[in-house]
């Protein structure tokens, strides 16, 4: 158990809908990262937050947005969902946003868009 929690575990929704994925980092960790992993694919970095502020942006679509709240939990919002958005979404946390750091991954949320 990494100490990072993600809810929900599974999500099934229809195209065009909007969903919110939630992540609670390990106690004491200030940075949260979001990744997308499609079936048998690698980990695509989406976005990073550090202590409530956006720190780095990856290949995140404009339909997706995220935020980190004062209690350091983070939410990833996915809107106007398409079939291709079906994937496993991981959140990871680290103590800081600067090197050196190791990322602790949550169990993931599996999103299925039908």
Query: Within 30-69, which residues bind another protein (CB under 8 A)?
Result: 31, 35, 41-45, 48, 55-56, 58
Instruction: Please identify which residue in 5, 65, 79, 101 interacts with another protein, judged by CB under 8 A.
Output: 101
Instruction: Please identify which residue in 14, 28, 83, 100 interacts with another protein, judged by CB under 8 A.
Output: 100
What's the closest the beta carbon of residue 51 comes to another protein, in angstroms? 13
Q: Does 89 bind another protein (CB under 8 A)?
A: no
Q: Which residues contact 70 (CB under 8 A, 6 or more apart)?
A: 52
Q: Does 12 bind another protein (CB under 8 A)?
A: no
- Per-position DSSP letters for 28-88, written without gaps between them: T--EEEEEEE-TT---EEEEEEETTEEEEE-S--TTEEEEE-TTS-EEEEE-S--GGG-EE
Query: Within 13-32, which residues bind another protein (CB under 8 A)?
Result: 31
């Amino acid at each position: 158990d990494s100490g990072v929690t993600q809810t929900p575990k599974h999500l099934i929704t229809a195209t065009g809908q909007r969903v919110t994925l939630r992540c609670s980092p390990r106690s004491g960790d200030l940075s949260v990262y979001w990744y997308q992993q499609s079936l048998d694919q690698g980990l695509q970095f989406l976005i990073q937050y550090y202590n409530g502020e956006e720190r780095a942006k990856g290949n995140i679509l404009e339909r997706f947005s995220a935020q980190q709240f004062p209690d350091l939990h983070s939410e990833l919002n996915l809107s106007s969902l398409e079939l291709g958005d079906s994937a496993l979404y991981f959140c990871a946390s680290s103590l800081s946003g600067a090197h050196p750091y190791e990322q602790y991954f949550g169990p993931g949320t599996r999103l299925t868009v039908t």
